[in-house]
A and B are shown apart, each in its own frame.
Chain A
């Protein structure tokens, strides 16, 4: 495990312990738009209100700390790596039925805005589908698409676009 990932994992573990009562949507969408990379984890978020970190396998904790699924251009196909992340969240959600999740679908700036809203929705629904087949109640999941309206990274090249074609998993415990 590299150093950066350890830091992220630590931060996320801290989040588990510190953030149990949080019910507000995490501030992922309100992050300042800079061209610096938005890593595929979001720090300071609570993974789950009843999560027992010590029982969690390291690999699963890794996967669970990842809250963003990335996509290819004009695609809603989920990569095998992303499937592992989704499976970890599926387990977390199905074990904690009081948790709910907002899936925010996003697209890069290329192409047309309304098509991108539909594409963002399709991406979020592809993630939702994988969660549901693994035992998550559909009622735990809400899908919202922002299309290209809320980029994670600004810039007009592939380095920004690849960070913007995404679905964000936003937890809100109850």
Chain B
């Protein structure tokens, strides 16, 4: 048994407490990997060689971002890879031609990532990397990417995506964003709610809204440029759509009663939402350009928390028309509902707040089991329900755009924290603020290239 196996097994068994944060000042959220996967792919990421020429050109003697470290932490967070600790590396090659394949094989590494960062005279940077297979002694992927200083972290995430795609066969979700709501107290002991967006690793947090009223249910527009959310800033729940770039917000639903649970349709033209203007909580579809609403459900029970199937053909929602909240599916078109809602969940007395995987095959939800509220995933075709978490107050699941992970809110040490779990339940990580609560996460779609 080699050194690497000894590393992987404890990673699987216990909390490792890896802090992915290199410079805490940059991240409002810190990430701890609380559970890795047994059998994660052993890889090594060599720190990218800095090809700066030093003080004579006025440039720094080290790279502005540690690309290799960002890539390694991305891969580790996915739960699919077990990067070798930097101290254990058996060389510092920056190009495939410099690699001693036998030495890396002896370390137990299947794949090696090498590269360099080079400042160019116009102030931009050239980032080059190669993904190498240690057994076939060949290159699996190799790219040269031009970047700007402010964009180097993103470039690193794009490299992680390319590596993930080459090794896993599906797109990575590293170059994506998350949004969430934070709650802290100001000096007057009042609650302060903030709607923030950040990179998928918690870096580059940008607060787009700050208010002293409850804020919840953010939903990304498919193009990633807007968020819909619910705000109590005028004393009752109303729905707003806000541009991320300009910060401009528009109130789109303020009917009498509840205006809640906005969910952007896959074509970006409508919001599914919950209104109680006609008596009790029902699902509606609002055309954003025309401002018209179409009623979808008609029932004396609570109907809320709509989520769209990826093709926009149906909505899955929470209803307690049976006994207690359960998930139902109803087909929709521009006229509203087509046909009667069909019940989807039958296990347990509380199944709510669906998030649908990008391929439409899985539905994540909040599921009560033995009095605890946990994240579970339903395989739609088989009806098989798998409980993914072991905590007791989980809520707001949201799929990563590649379907690999689900981010959700939970409680840890009396604090609201975010957690992410792989769809098979095997890899887990926790994101938390240095103070206060963080909740209501929503993972963005893929960025438009």
A-to-B contact residues, CB < 8 Å: 32, 74, 109-115, 117-119, 121-122, 125, 143-146, 149-150, 156
- Give residues of chain B (221-261) contacting chain A, Cβ–Cβ below 8 Å: 230, 232, 235-237, 257-258, 260-261
Instruction: Provide the residues of chain A in CB contact with B261, threshold 8 Å.
Output: 114
Instruction: Tell me if B411 and A118 are in contact (CB < 8 A).
Output: no
Given A74-B325, A125-B280, 6 more pairs with CB closer than 8 A: A74-B324, A74-B350, A112-B353, A115-B352, A117-B237, A146-B214
Instruction: Tell me if B302 and A144 are in contact (CB < 8 A).
Output: no
B393 is contacted by which of A115, A119, A149, A156 (Cβ under 8 Å)? A156
Chain A CB within 8 A of B78 CB: no
A61 to B128 alpha-carbon distance, docked (Å): 79
Chain A CB within 8 A of B264 CB: no
Chain A CB within 8 A of B199 CB: no
Instruction: Provide the residues of chain B in CB contact with A125, threshold 8 Å.
Output: 280
Instruction: Tell me if A114 and B217 are in contact (CB < 8 A).
Output: yes
Instruction: Tell me if B414 and A156 are in contact (CB < 8 A).
Output: yes
List 29 A–B pairs whose Cβ atoms lie within 8 Å, in order of A's numbering: A74-B320, A110-B373, A111-B366, A112-B318, A112-B325, A112-B396, A113-B216, A113-B396, A113-B440, A114-B260, A114-B261, A114-B304, A114-B353, A115-B302, A115-B304, A117-B260, A117-B304, A118-B274, A118-B280, A118-B281, A121-B257, A121-B280, A122-B281, A144-B236, A145-B258, A149-B216, A149-B232, A150-B214, A156-B392
- Give residues of chain B (365-413) contacting chain A, Cβ–Cβ below 8 Å: 366, 368, 373, 392-393, 395-396, 411
A115 is contacted by which of B232, B353, B414 (Cβ under 8 Å)? B353
A44 to B88 alpha-carbon distance, docked (Å): 68
B contact residues, total (Cβ < 8 Å) = 37
Max chain A Cβ within 10 angstroms of own Cβ: one of B230, B258, B274 = B258
Instruction: Tell me if B395 and A112 are in contact (CB < 8 A).
Output: yes
- Give residues of chain B (319-336) contacting chain A, Cβ–Cβ below 8 Å: 320, 324-325
A118 is contacted by which of B230, B232, B302 (Cβ under 8 Å)? B302
A122 is contacted by which of B235, B280, B324, B440 (Cβ under 8 Å)? B280
A74 to B230 alpha-carbon distance, docked (Å): 22
A150 to B366 alpha-carbon distance, docked (Å): 21
Nearest CB of A to B274, in Å: 6
Q: Residue on A with the closest CB to B349?
A: A74
Chain A CB within 8 A of B133 CB: no
Q: Residue on B with the closest CB to A76?
A: B302
Chain A CB within 8 A of B276 CB: yes
The count of A-to-B residue pairs whose CB atoms sit within 8 angstroms is: 85
Nearest CB of B to A14, in Å: 27
Q: Residue on B with the closest CB to A102?
A: B235
Instruction: Provide the residues of chain A in CB contact with B414, threshold 8 Å.
Output: 156
Instruction: Provide the residues of chain A in CB contact with B189, threshold 8 Å.
Output: 32
A146 to B191 alpha-carbon distance, docked (Å): 15
Max chain B Cβ within 10 angstroms of own Cβ: one of A113, A114, A119, A121 = A114
Nearest CB of A to B183, in Å: 10
Known: A115-B353, A156-B393. A144 touches B235 (CB 8 A): yes
Instruction: Tell me if A118 and B258 are in contact (CB < 8 A).
Output: yes
Max chain B Cβ within 10 angstroms of own Cβ: one of A32, A111, A121 = A111
A113 to B235 alpha-carbon distance, docked (Å): 17
Q: Residue on B with the closest CB to A143?
A: B257
Instruction: Provide the residues of chain A in CB contact with B395, threshold 8 Å.
Output: 111-113
Nearest CB of A to B99, in Å: 51
Instruction: Tell me if B411 and A156 are in contact (CB < 8 A).
Output: yes
Instruction: Provide the residues of chain B in CB contact with A32, threshold 8 Å.
Output: 189
Instruction: Provide the residues of chain A in CB contact with B392, threshold 8 Å.
Output: 156
Known: A109-B393, A111-B366, A122-B280. A145 touches B237 (CB 8 A): yes
A121 to B373 alpha-carbon distance, docked (Å): 22
Closest 3 CB pairs of A and B: A149-B214, A118-B281, A112-B353
Instruction: Tell me if A115 and B325 are in contact (CB < 8 A).
Output: yes
Nearest CB of B to A116, in Å: 10
Known: A118-B274, A121-B280. A111 touches B350 (CB 8 A): yes
Instruction: Tell me if A146 and B318 are in contact (CB < 8 A).
Output: no
Nearest CB of B to A76, in Å: 10
Instruction: Provide the residues of chain B in CB contact with A145, threshold 8 Å.
Output: 237, 258
Instruction: Provide the residues of chain B in CB contact with A114, threshold 8 Å.
Output: 216-217, 230, 260-261, 274, 304-305, 318, 353
Q: Residue on A with the closest CB to B191?
A: A33
B281 is contacted by which of A109, A121, A150 (Cβ under 8 Å)? A121
A78 to B409 alpha-carbon distance, docked (Å): 31
Instruction: Tell me if A146 and B325 are in contact (CB < 8 A).
Output: no
A119 to B411 alpha-carbon distance, docked (Å): 22
Instruction: Provide the residues of chain A in CB contact with B217, threshold 8 Å.
Output: 113-114
Instruction: Provide the residues of chain B in CB contact with A74, threshold 8 Å.
Output: 320, 324-325, 350
Instruction: Provide the residues of chain B in CB contact with A112, threshold 8 Å.
Output: 305, 318, 325, 352-353, 366, 395-396
Instruction: Tell me if B276 and A115 are in contact (CB < 8 A).
Output: no
A114 to B302 alpha-carbon distance, docked (Å): 10
A122 to B257 alpha-carbon distance, docked (Å): 11
A125 to B302 alpha-carbon distance, docked (Å): 13
Instruction: Provide the residues of chain B in CB contact with A146, threshold 8 Å.
Output: 214, 232
A115 to B327 alpha-carbon distance, docked (Å): 12
Nearest CB of A to B283, in Å: 11
A117 to B318 alpha-carbon distance, docked (Å): 13
Nearest CB of A to B191, in Å: 9
Instruction: Provide the residues of chain A in CB contact with B304, threshold 8 Å.
Output: 114-115, 117-118
Instruction: Provide the residues of chain A in CB contact with B396, threshold 8 Å.
Output: 112-113
Instruction: Tell me if A110 and B393 are in contact (CB < 8 A).
Output: yes
Nearest CB of B to A102, in Å: 10
Instruction: Provide the residues of chain A in CB contact with B325, threshold 8 Å.
Output: 74, 111-112, 115
